[in-house]
Structure 1
Amino acid sequence: MPQDITNAARVQGRFHTQMAQRQRATAPAQRPFQGLTGRGPLHVRNRYDCVVAGLLLSAALSQLRMPGNPATDAGAQPRAAGRSQSSLHNVGNRAVQHVPSAAHWPPGAHALAIPMGMDWIGGLAELLGTQISAEQAALELDIAAIADATRTAQARPGSIVARREATNRARLDTIAGQFENDGFAVERQPFNLTTHTLFSHPYRTSGQNLLVTLCGRGPVQRTLMVLAHGDVAGAEIGSTGSLDNGVGVGLLLALARHLDHTGLPDGTRVQLLVTDKEEAGLKGAKAYVRDCQSAAACPDVALNLNILGYGNGISVSGSADHAGFGDGDSPFANGTATVTPAEAQLERLLREAAADVGMQVHATPGWTLQSDHVAFQRAGLAALGVSGMHEADGAPERALQVARARYLQAEARVTPSRYDAYLAGTLNQTESIAMARDIQASDTAALEYQALPQSQRQRRIHTAADQPEHVDIRQALATLDVVRRTVDAWLALPSRHAHFYADSDVPA
């Protein structure tokens, strides 16, 4: 369970005042039980809910046994049972009266005074709400469900390749079920794609993206897409894909619930896309971009969420940064792409939202978040990538990306046909010398790339270290707050300002 469960024993009794206010304001028969915070019901959907509920109840009941005062613990005479001799403990910003313990309580312990006629269910709900919100519980349950589907699929017999495919299908099926259980229609979008390996060898691949669409009334005038990949890498060695990318998908689910509650302005649309095979080279995102461009139905701007619930801030990767990415489908860019007004606008809103919640946005010059938004950017579509990061991760990740680019560019000069001719001895002397030099350069670049250390973040993903309990849930919730504020701000923009901003508004 998350660290908040272990801290629950320190919750103090702020709920008394809140319960008194609720009892005065609302008759018991008219007051619905609103989960942990009053923001909405916490649905008991599966066994994870039951486990969380049981642990939370245990933590809450522990509040009935509070530490005694030092004098009693040091051997002072205990108070006589039944005497009305009270002590005051500072609880939050106020004092709560405690009564002496009965004989069966441990020495030095006090029982928390519970007013007669108190609404126990409501009080328990308020107590739990001081530590764990319904939103947090729902996010943790969503991440746990995706992790559980990953473990279950990996436990089945079959080759590594077969289990990898089965695991990604199980994750996407689970994610679709989570949306559908909350009442959202999921459009399953199977795709077939002609693509290339990292070294440009062509092959065919297939998969399935998931799309959830939320619309305001009237004809659609503008569309924002928020996406996260649903597949996993490293499941065969124990990864549950929680940081990469169960949290990102969990934030999509939370955003869907939020928008379903608030509604969308007329003429606006938000699309939530869960992509397949991001870990295999952004294949699902590339297929989506191909199809949306063919249908002239691409979003105005897209926001990609990847590797969240980690770090002491976030990184933002825009079109000006994608030159550091290259693969068999798209070579490394020369220079940087033009940042469109729509993308600059979204980044401005994102940075303002981060400032509002106190979230640091790390400066990452020369670094690229190598994820699905790059497929949009390479097609000329406005897109941003957001990821959790420690400031110490930036330098080693940037060095690795530079070394990777150097290696891939050196390897690209050793083409298969030229290499075969070199081995067969059919090249002339000049060509043979040049080929030997290119092979040596490629080998040297590969060794230099492999010798570089990984960042702490890279060591946490694609391995057995990527588990639900390693998610920093507070950081994940703070990022959710940033994303939600960004989306709300984008939706609130007047239509005539939805796409264009003055040059002074473009972030430096």
Structure 2
Amino acid sequence: MPSASIEHSRGVAGCFERRNGSLGSRSSRHAREQDAPRLLRIRNASGLFTACVLLASALPAGSASRREQPPVAPGPHRDALIPATGASAGPHSARGAPLLPQALPSISNGVIALCVAQPRHCAAAVTAGMLVLGVTGLAAATWPASRMTGAVSPVSPVQRLDRLEEEIERIELHGPDNAGTALLQIARDCGGEPQCRAERINALLETLPQATIAHLQELVAPIGEASASAQAAMAPWPGGADATPLLGDSPLLALAEALAMIYTPEAAAFQDDMETIVASTSSDTAAGASPGQRWIEANSRRQQVIAGLLQRDAGHVEWLPYAARGLGPLGMEDPSPAFNLRIRMPPAPGTAPARRLLLVAHGDMIGLSRGSHGAYDNASGVATLLHVARQLAAEAPLAGTQVDLLVTSNEELGLLGANAYITQCRECDDCPTMVINIDLVGRGGHSYVLSGSEALAASPYLGRAPMFLQAPTTSDTERREALAFERHFAANGFTRAVPGTALLMTSDNVAFQNASIPCIGIAQVSAVDAEAWVRLDTARMDWLACDVQVDWSRHEALRNGQLQLPADEVAELERRYHAADQAWQRLQALRADHPLAPPVLVHGANDRLHRVSAPMGVAFADALLDVVRHRRRDTPTRPPAATDTSHA
């Protein structure tokens, strides 16, 4: 029972304290007791219980125990839509009514009815009522509320916002746009003007069917208020089409402010960055060019555009040249001239920071001929860097950690850009002390995966093609950073999708981890997609383990009749071949069953711009920004070694 109900019951009990000598002589008291209704006799504990139950039964069920979660306060750069109204700005979490207040009237009514019908058995009825009430209280304290009342499990405010955005993206408007696109345009047009956004969002809501409005309000309002909200939404618009319900005490205010919190000017800027990058890659290439040449031209245009965006938001861009080798089989010049892009954020004046944090995202893409936009992989990661750069550029530099941004090239061809950067920084004794690699942002809501060196240590690529990795050193620095990362992301409403699972991200983080430079790989992935990712990764490793057991040259020679082997060797070779083939078939079946899981979503037609959510990307970027700001304020103790080589 909630504490408020306990205090109320104590107050009721206090009203029935027995007062000695206040009712006259014993004989007169006895005469009055004979004439009074026997139900209200309060001579012992059972009578006291009956009176308390009687009064408590008159209370509205659950009135003292129903509580709501506080509304979501507008976060950074998410101003309240109309602060002057004083209305709640965010959604509430759902809670079902507790069992005990619901059961109390029924128990008390049963006790009262039996006492009236059989006064002599009232004491027994009271005892039975107390027993039933105790069992009910125990059940209410130990059973899930959703099981007892049929209510859904509590939903956090950030989960409600994620669900609201998912529903908004499904609403089609007249023309090619959906409701999410229209709300982003409102954010672009109005910027930080709350009145403008209020009127424009109001006008957009008026165009939606009333049933759709009711459904959206149910996602925002608590479960207990959902039906009232739906009825209010189904009512005619007050004052006709020209009215502005958002400016008053409108039931649509909570919905409109939730939409304003999601579709911000920052989200519009994130979307614009992704669209600009994708458009540059999709431009026409020269007719008759080889696939390798088309790939080079497309990614060269993409890199030029990214450099321009970095210059716009963060200042001077360094073009770091290197020679990309091993591209001859792809029809490219070998070696090919290539570049990474680096931004060094201005440090605080005075002593140079002892620590350097490097934020990395690869800018190249692959799969253009198969319909890929390279949006999720990895225009979203570059847009995240741009968002962080804009915020940091607007702040005064603080002592602590120097922040650099790096956009690598040729990640898709074997982490060539990241490996070249590592070679260069080692030659100059200028390597970062901590690296965060961002790859895949804008899907999965407030959920993410984190990949460190401990995941790489179990990679099947150690010492084998195509990466020929070395066993990494897991540093204390990386472990501390991973814990801090989880703490700051949790403070921003994010949870790890598969906690405790060493999920391997085969992105640029692998190059840094392989060089024993502390690095964390991060991606925004839903729990469902992450679990599919784990299954796919496990199936891929199983296939690789089987594949390496097959002597494919001997198997091919045997099939072509060019090799004669004893029967037992033929049987063993065929057994290994069939094991590898079955493992491959299992992997392909999993890929077909999970077409939108991260390992399958990228490099093909599934990686399209409309599958990436700019608001989700901004929420992720803000959480990352919190990590960066914390490090910038962290006072360094002493200059660390160039690389952390402490062993796990």
Give the TM-score normalised by the residue count of structure 2.
0.55
- 3-state SS, counterpart of residue 328 of structure 1: coil
1:448 — aligned with what?
A: 586
Which amino acid is the alignment partner of residue 317 of structure 2? V
- Taking the TM superposition and a 5 Å limit, the aligned residue runs for 1:122-141 are 132-141=263-272
Partner of 2:605: 464
CA contact (8 A) 1:359 1:478 kept: no
Cα 1:437–1:296, aligned 2, differ >3 Å: closer, same or farther?
Answer: farther
1:98-113 to 2 correspondences below 5 Å: 108-112=240-244
Which of residues 483, 507, 515 is equivalent to 1:371?
A: 507
Change (3 A) 1:499 1:12: closer
From 433, 445, 459, the counterpart of 1:324: 459
The CA deviation string for residues 378-433 of structure 1, in whole angstroms up to 9 with x for no partner, is 11110000011111123322222222223334444556876787679578759964
Coordinate RMSD, CA, aligned = 4.2
From 479, 483, 491, the counterpart of 1:356: 491
- Give a deviation string over 1:154-180, Cα, whole Å, max 9, x none: 696634332222111111111001111
Contact kept? 1:229, 1:275, Cα under 8 Å: yes
Contact 2:313/2:389 (8 A) holds in 1 = no
| Residue 407 (str. 1) matches residue 543 (str. 2) | yes
Q: Which residue of 2 aligns with 1:341?
A: 476
Question: What corresponds to 1:397 in structure 2?
Answer: 533
Cα 1:100/1:417, change in 2 over 3 Å: closer
Aligned partner of 2:623 in structure 1 is: 482
Cα distance in 2 for partners of 1:449, 1:63 equals: 46
Offset of residue 342 of structure 1: 1.6
1:442–1:249: structure 2 CA closer, same or farther, 3 Å change rule? same
Q: How far apart in 2 are the matches of 1:137 and 1:493?
A: 32
Give the conservation status (yes or no) of the 8 Å contact 1:164–1:236: no
What corresponds to 2:319 in structure 1?
188
- Identify, as 1 or 2, the structure richer in helix: 2
Counterparts of 1:154 and 1:16, CA distance in 2: 54
Label 1:191 to 1:332 Cα distance change in 2 as closer, same or farther (>3 A).
closer
Whether 1:250 aligns to 2:347 is no
Unaligned runs of 5+ in 2: 1-78, 87-180, 191-195, 207-236, 248-256, 642-647
Offset at 1:241? 1.2
- Counterpart of 2:147 in structure 1 is none
1:288 aligns with 2:421: yes
**Could you tell me which residue of structure 1 aligns to residue 168 of structure 2?**
none
Q: For 1:367 and 1:13, how far apart are their aligned partners in 2?
A: 40
Over residues 16-69 of structure 1, what are the superposed CA-to-partner deviations in whole Å (9 max), with x where a residue is unaligned?
Answer: 679xxxxxxxxxxxxxxxxxxxxxxxxxxxxx9xx947974697664686999x
* Contact 2:399–2:632 (Cα < 8 Å) also in 1: no
Is 2:306 the partner of 1:175?
A: yes
| Greater RCO (CA < 8 Å, at least 6 residues apart) | 1
SS at match of 2:449: strand
Q: Equivalences for 1:300-315 in 2 at 5 Å?
A: 300-312=433-445, 313-315=447-449
Shift in Å, 1:468: 2.7
Deviation at 1:452, TM superposition (A): 2.3
Q: Does 467-476 or 414-423 show the bigger shift?
A: 414-423
Specify the structure having the higher radius of gyration (Cα).
2
* Contact 1:311/1:390, CA 8 A, preserved across alignment: yes
Shift, 1:474, TM fit? 2.4
Comparing 400-409 and 242-251, the one that deviates more: 400-409
Q: CA 1:62–1:135 in structure 2 vs 1: closer, same or farther (change >3 Å)? A: closer
User: Using the alignment, how far apart are the partners of 2:402 and 2:513 within structure 1?
Assistant: 21
Does the 8 Å contact 2:356/2:432 carry over to 1? Answer: yes
2:276 is equivalent to residue 145 of structure 1: yes
Q: Distance in 2 between matches of 1:411 and 1:194?
A: 27
Corresponding residue to 2:354 among 221, 243, 247? 221
| Superposition pairs of residues 253-292 of structure 1, within 5 angstroms | 253-266=386-399, 268-292=401-425
Q: Secondary structure at the match of 2:357?
A: strand
Change in CA separation of 1:129 and 1:439 when aligned onto 2, cut-off 3 Å: closer
Aligned equivalents of 1:67 and 1:281: distance in 2?
A: 48
Alignment of 1:57-96 (within 5 A): 62=200
Secondary structure, in 3 states, of the residue corresponding to 1:211? strand
Q: What is the aligned length? A: 412
Change (3 A) 1:412 1:290: farther
Q: Distance in 2 between matches of 1:373 and 1:113?
A: 50
Contact preservation (8 Å) 2:81, 2:260? no
Deviations 1:189-209 (A, max 9, x none): 2322445999xxxx8565321
Structure 1 Cα separation of the partners of residues 293 and 384 of structure 2: 29
Is the 1:490–1:498 Cα contact (8 Å) retained in structure 2?
no
SS of the counterpart of 1:453?
helix
Q: Measure, in 2, the Cα distance between the counterparts of 1:406 and 1:114.
A: 57
CA distance in 1, matches of 2:492, 2:564: 63
Residue 128 of structure 1: CA displacement?
11
Contact persistence 2:358–2:406 (CA under 8 A): yes
Equivalent residue letter for 1:238: G
- After superposition, what is the alpha-carbon deviation per residue over 1:123-165, rounded to whole angstroms, capped at 9, x for unaligned? xxx9997664332222111111001112214696634332222
Distance in structure 1 (CA, Å) of the matches to 2:238 and 2:527? 50
The one-letter code matched in structure 2 to 1:14 is: I
In 2, Cα distance between equivalents of 1:63 and 1:493: 41
Question: For each residue in 1:238-263, what CA deviation from the matched residue of structure 2 results, as whole angstroms up to 9, or x when unmatched?
Answer: 22111111111011111112222223
Aligned partners of 2:609 and 2:273: how far apart in 1? 10
- 1:436, CA displacement in angstroms? 5.4
User: How far apart in 1 are the matches of 2:269 and 2:287?
Assistant: 28
**Is 2:186–2:197's contact at 8 Å kept on the other side of the alignment?**
no
**Higher strand residue share:** 1
Change (3 A) 1:109 1:473: same
Tell me the distance in 2 between the aligned counterparts of 1:381 and 1:268: 16
TM-score by length of 1: 0.69
- Checking the alignment, whether the CA contact within 8 Å between 1:350 and 1:482 is kept in structure 2 is no
**In 2: Cα distance, 1:155 partner to 1:348 partner:** 49
CA–CA distance in 2 between the matches of 1:374 and 1:185?
A: 28
Tell me the distance in 2 between the aligned counterparts of 1:153 and 1:272: 30
Specify the SS of the correspondent of 1:224: strand
The gaps in structure 1 that reach 5 residues or longer are 1-10, 19-47, 69-98, 102-107, 116-125, 501-507
Distance in 2, Cα, partners of 1:497 & 1:204: 41
Paired residue type of 1:489: H
Q: How does 1:155-170 map to 2 (within 5 A)?
A: 158-170=289-301
